[in-house]
Amino acid sequence: MKIAPIIRALKVHKNGNVQWKLVHTGQHYDYAMSQSFFEDLEIPEPDFFLDAGSGSHAVQTAKIMVAFESVCKQEQPDVVLVVGDVNSTLACSVVAKKLLADVAHVEAGLRSFDLAMPEEINRMVTDAITDYFFVTEKSGAENLIKEGKSPEKIHFVGHVMIDNLYYQLGKLEQEADSSFSVAGLKKNLGHYGFLTLHRPSNVDEKVTLTGIVEGINKIGNTTPIIFPVHPRTKKMLESFDLSFSENIHLLPPLGFREALYLWKDADFVFTDSGGLQEETTGLGIPCFTIRENTERPVTIEEGTNTLVGCNKDNILNAFAEFKSGRIKQGRIPELWDGKAAERIVDHLLKP
């Protein structure tokens, strides 16, 4: 979702002589599974597929580093652009820097200040060796400056996730409802909430997951909820013998556009995802984040996001406030205008 707008911007940039290659590390999905995402987002066939697969953080990161080193030695890039905060981000930035290529980090500077989060380690290490910091919100720039980074290297550009969101919304408007497999469910429910849940801190501990399930089930008594179930969450629900009520409509994992088709018209969203906090703010949809912290404070300070923690009572209290009419009103953050990728490419390709 973050790469797609950048590729579109590269294709139309006035500097048509720039050469670029797309590397798919295979961290999250095997190649066949990821094809649906590539097609949804109109991403071209990757030039390299590293097939890293699953494994512990150390194993996965090591696999990516070894495979990506071969790519870099073959291609000898001037700049390696990485996005977000996954293991691929860390692995590829370290390899690039050791081979004396510049590193450009899209979504730089975000901090949860929670070192128990693997993503926080990835963010911090990547930013320690980055040359081009592309930040989505002003807190990112402030964090980087506090960490001693040069202001000249920090570029506040907006957010490519919002670029992708607006682009995909435009595409959805041209499609008939009948082209979506979930159209019937959406129509029958009318009003509904939308849930995503996948973080290890929420689903890997029985007590925590039990409380979340009980809270969501109670909310479902008043408003039905659509829940595409992440494979990790499905596994843990079965392991702990937990189940959702019939008012929680469980779906298999959805592609980006199918999920967007649902949540864009939801009355509210519950999530532990980073991206959905931002996307709901982009569309003004009430969002309740089931986490104890967030590295995206602008979604709370300016947007429609509320941090509710992982406790059943807190989840229910926040929803009770919402149902009573005390609905948080947000605004679109600065530079979340759908043109972040253009700014990124302009900075990278300055003469």
Distance CA(75)–CA(22), nearest Å, equals 11
Tell me, yes or no, whether 7 and 147 share the same domain.
Answer: yes
pLDDT tens per residue, the chain (351 residues)?
Answer: 999 999 999 999 887 678 999 999 987 655 555 677 788 888 999 999 998 888 899 999 999 999 999 999 999 999 999 999 999 999 999 999 999 999 999 999 999 999 999 999 999 999 999 999 999 999 999 999 999 999 999 999 999 999 999 999 999 999 999 999 999 999 999 999 999 999 999 999 999 999 999 999 999 999 999 999 999 999 999 999 999 999 999 999 998 899 999 999 999 999 999 999 999 999 999 999 999 999 999 999 999 999 999 999 999 999 999 999 988 989 999 999 999 999 999 999 987
Distance CA(81)–CA(22), nearest Å, equals 10
Total domain count, the chain = 2
Tell me, yes or no, whether 112 and 190 share the same domain.
Answer: no
Tell me, yes or no, whether 100 and 234 share the same domain.
Answer: no
Contact 103, 133 (CB under 8 A): no
Q: What is the CATH number of the domain that holds 235?
A: 3.40.50.2000
Residue 235 lies inside a defined structural domain of this protein: yes
Tell me, yes or no, whether 186 and 284 share the same domain.
Answer: yes
Tell me, yes or no, whether 123 and 101 share the same domain.
Answer: yes
Tell me, yes or no, whether 94 and 21 share the same domain.
Answer: yes
Verify whether residue 57 is a known catalytic residue: no
- Note the pTM of the prediction, 2 decimals: 0.93
Tell me, yes or no, whether 155 and 185 share the same domain.
Answer: no
Q: Which of 198, 230, 249, 347 is catalytic?
A: 198
CA atoms within 13 A on the CB side of 77: 25
Tell me, yes or no, whether 140 and 230 share the same domain.
Answer: no
Residue 210 lies inside a defined structural domain of this protein: yes
Tell me, yes or no, whether 69 and 153 share the same domain.
Answer: yes
Tell me, yes or no, whether 105 and 196 share the same domain.
Answer: no
Whole domain around residue 82: which residue ranges? Answer: 3-159+336-348
Tell me, yes or no, whether 22 and 150 share the same domain.
Answer: yes
Q: What does the chain come to in residues?
A: 351
Contact 341, 163 (CB under 8 A): yes
Residue 169 lies inside a defined structural domain of this protein: no
